[in-house]
């Protein structure tokens, strides 16, 4: 049976303009970093995509190396898109990235024009689409001239293979340099993607949030739940079906220290006082900043998507609550 989207999918959805551009993003976007590799259940992948879209999540975020294996997430998403959701392509915002290790040899990594152009061509074939809405450079390349990487992004837009470009894992100073180059080229650079959470304040310290605000660029945050730490899953031990037990690449038992458990227990108590789950409060904490366009969530269950969607409704905090959060995690 062909998928038919929920007719009320936009009724309660909230969207925000991406910086000073014309592009609107849902406040909660769906990331396919985890649970879309060849080691995951394909039928569950479909359910996750359907649940997201049925509830107004129009943005699906990928990268060339999401898997395992590399490219598997794009392949699996492409299968879902082309067999079940093709009728809704113009209602969807699809992004992908290149910048990390993808294939052997000198042309499968970092930020050369050779790599970025070839990688996007491969991504388009895996997903079975003619273009992506946003193409990101996934990380700064210290050995390739910034102008070359930005020229590659500009050429990709002019070729019609991407509508907009973004930068990921850049700090504020480097982003401003890139923005100036892209502006001179007339390239629609609209968004930055960086890690940000209650437990990880890197974008505050490296100037990215301030720079994005000054330049009128959007910010979308990955790992807003700190790979699942900012949930109630690890307060009373490590569940057998948790990512720590089933994967362990990005969150392992060594990170779940007594100190961390104490912090998330106190944060969970505050969330309960606010009438929220810890995950909802953590997402709302990121979204409270007007410079943040959207947060990226991952999910292994449909219920997690539905739970996290409520975060946008409760993204306001009192000064006392913000001070308490800072005191807990400092």
Encode pLDDT of 218-237 as tens digits: 999 999 999 889 998 878 65
Dihedral sign for Cα 178, 181, 184, 186, please.
negative
Per-residue pLDDT at 72 exceeds 90: yes
Of the candidates 197, 149, 199, 184, the residue with the CA atom closest to the CA atom of residue 170: 149
In this structure, of 103-117, 140-154, 263-277, 304-318, the range with the lowest mean pLDDT score is 304-318
The pLDDT value recorded for residue 252 is 54
What's the number of CA atoms in the CB half-sphere (13 Å) around residue 180?
A: 7
The pLDDT value recorded for residue 276 is 94
The pLDDT value recorded for residue 245 is 43
Per-residue pLDDT at 1 exceeds 90: no
Calculate the average pLDDT of the chain: 94
**Cβ atoms 183, 189 nearer than 8 A:** yes
Q: What is the mean pLDDT of residues 199-203?
A: 95
Q: What is the mean pLDDT of residues 122-136?
A: 98
Burial class (CB in 10 A: 0-12, 13-18, 19+), 182: buried
The pLDDT value recorded for residue 330 is 87
- Percent of the chain exceeding pLDDT 90 equals 88
Structural domains of the chain sorted by starting position, each given as residue range(s) with its CATH number in brackets: 15-227+282-309 (3.20.20.100)
């Amino acid at each position: 049976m062909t998928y038919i989207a929920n007719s009320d999918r936009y009724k309660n959805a909230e969207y925000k303009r991406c910086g000073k551009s014309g592009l609107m993003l849902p406040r909660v976007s769906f990331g396919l970093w985890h649970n879309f590799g060849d080691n995951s259940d394909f039928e569950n992948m479909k359910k996750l995509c359907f649940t997201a879209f049925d509830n107004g999540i129009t943005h699906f975020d990928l990268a060339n190396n999401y898997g395992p294996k590399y490219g598997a997430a794009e392949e699996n998403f492409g299968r879902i898109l082309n067999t079940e959701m093709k009728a809704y392509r113009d209602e969807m915002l699809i992004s992908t990235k290149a910048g990390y290790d993808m294939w052997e040899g000198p042309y499968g990594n970092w930020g050369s024009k050779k790599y970025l152009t070839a990688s996007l061509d491969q991504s388009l074939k895996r997903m079975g689409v003619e273009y992506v809405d946003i193409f990101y450079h996934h990380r700064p390349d210290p050995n390739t001239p910034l102008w070359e990487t930005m020229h590659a992004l500009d050429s990709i837009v002019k070729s019609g293979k991407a509508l907009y470009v973004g930068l990921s894992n850049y700090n504020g100073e480097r982003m401003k340099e890139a923005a100036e180059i892209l502006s001179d080229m007339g390239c629609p650079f609209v968004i930055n993607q960086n890690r940000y959470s209650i437990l990880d304040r890197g974008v505050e310290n490296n100037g990215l949030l301030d720079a994005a605000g000054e330049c009128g660029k959007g910010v979308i945050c990955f790992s807003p739940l700190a790979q699942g730490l900012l949930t109630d899953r690890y307060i009373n031990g490590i569940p057998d079906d948790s990512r720590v037990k089933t994967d362990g690449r990005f969150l392992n038992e060594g990170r779940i220290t007594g100190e961390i458990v104490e912090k998330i227990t106190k944060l969970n108590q505050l969330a309960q006082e606010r009438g929220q789950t810890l995950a909802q409060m953590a997402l709302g904490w990121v979204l409270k900043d007007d410079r943040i366009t959207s947060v990226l969530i991952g999910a292994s269950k449909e219920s997690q998507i539905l739970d996290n969607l409520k975060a946008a409704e409760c993204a306001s905090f009192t000064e006392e609550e913000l001070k308490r959060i800072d005191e807990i995690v400092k």
